[in-house]
Structure 1
């Protein structure tokens, strides 16, 4: 969190106030990792942060506003997803490495932001347009550059133009997201994590280039 911080009534928060606000957000983030979103209460967040509900309400009108702040932080961090695709070579061994690093980077991002991404998906599925926009932007951080890469590969004759680049990119990101969200249930079906990673890298490479990765 950077820049000027204001309270709910418009006052500029000092250094101590900013620290208190950030502590409330940190505590909320930890609680979302272990409790269902709908079960988290202001009084519990305030108690965990060592302060009072009145202090919480100085900075956030409700839990949802604080969750949106955390979601905004996740959105800003999603810029790193773009870097997983830009300026990468997709031929030979370099292409295999690009696919593997994309998979590893995406799964690491999902693990790091697992709790808030789960809340974003839940609220978006319930039709909250604010969370729908955030989810679209998070996905777009990878879909857009990936679509450009798919299109570039097609223009070089390395991929069959059987589907639009954006559709291919969106399908790949949806696949990666689903695997990240359902890793435990997939393991119960016999899909070990050690086997899933190379399978995802293979599918990403095929989707981007239309070919199996080089050795």
Structure 2
């Protein structure tokens, strides 16, 4: 772990750096990203702006650090699909597990994901790369699942696995980012979203 000027941070320095990141993460949950200032993060962490600048060039740099960690954690989403069955009751369970895991990941990281989406929408390639990395964790696994079903004759040959996977992931991301604003209770949202995912992957109604 190094400081901005290249020095190796000791144990105490690493703890300070992590505290700054934790405080920033907490502030993003209660304040608009543009309103978060270095001095406020430093004050909340019980240190000074000078100390903040030892570890990060600015607030955006610290946010990118948080987003990198989140993107790495998103790799766990792929495990909800990779190697799982999409046939019969097992397939229906896979669809439900994917939806539950995806929505829960978005809920846990809601504030940071909103910042990533904002940066990507403004054309910042760094944020766009991170958003793509997060979505690809599921996109690639779903593409493989549809391809495998297609090879076994269970999905029409004219279907594009990549297009189906990309469409389903885009739908999941859109719904996940507006969980509180769709006007539907979670108890109703999740199974119906799982139904759409299952239909998209298999082309059939699930066996429950």
Q: Deviations over 1:94-144 (max 9, x none)?
A: 011110001001111111111111100000000001111111111111101
Contact 1:158-1:209 at 8 Å conserved across structures: yes
Once the two structures are superposed, the pairs formed by residues 59-74 of structure 1 within 5 Å of their partners are 59-74=55-70
Of residues 2, 10, 31 in structure 2, which corresponds to 1:14?
10
Displacement after TM superposition at 1:162 (Å): 3.9
Shift of 1:152: 0.8
* Residues 1:124 and 2:126 are matched in the alignment: no
> In structure 2, what is the equivalent of residue 107 of structure 1?
103
What is the CA–CA distance in structure 1 between the aligned matches of 2:157 and 2:178, rounded to whole Å? 31
Partner of 1:42: 38
Query: Which segments of 5 or more consecutive residues in structure 1 lack a partner in the other structure?
Result: none
Query: Once the 2 structures are TM-superposed, how far is the Cα of residue 192 of structure 1 from its aligned partner?
Result: 2.1
Summarize deviations over 1:44-74 as a string: whole Å, max 9, x none.
0001101110100000010011001001001
Aligned to 1:180: 176
* Distance (Å, rounded) in 1 between the aligned partners of 2:119 and 2:187: 32
* 1:158–1:211 CA contact under 8 A, matched in 2: no
Conserved 8 A contact 1:154-1:209:
no
Cα contact 1:46–1:53 (8 A) shared by 2: yes
**Correspondence for 2:85 among 86, 89, 103:** 89
- Asked whether the equivalents of residues 100 and 198 of structure 1 are also in contact (C-alpha less than 8 Å), the reply is yes
Number of residue pairs matched? 208
1:144 and 2:140 matched: yes
Following TM superposition, where does structure 1 have runs of at least 4 consecutive aligned residues deviating by more than 6 angstroms? none
Matching of residue 195 in structure 1 with residue 195 in structure 2? no
With normalisation by structure 1, the TM-score equals 0.94
CA separation in 2, counterparts of 1:136 and 1:166?
14
Root-mean-square deviation (CA), in Å? 0.9
1:33 aligned onto 2:26: no
C-alpha separation between the residues in 2 aligned to 1:185 and 1:117? 16
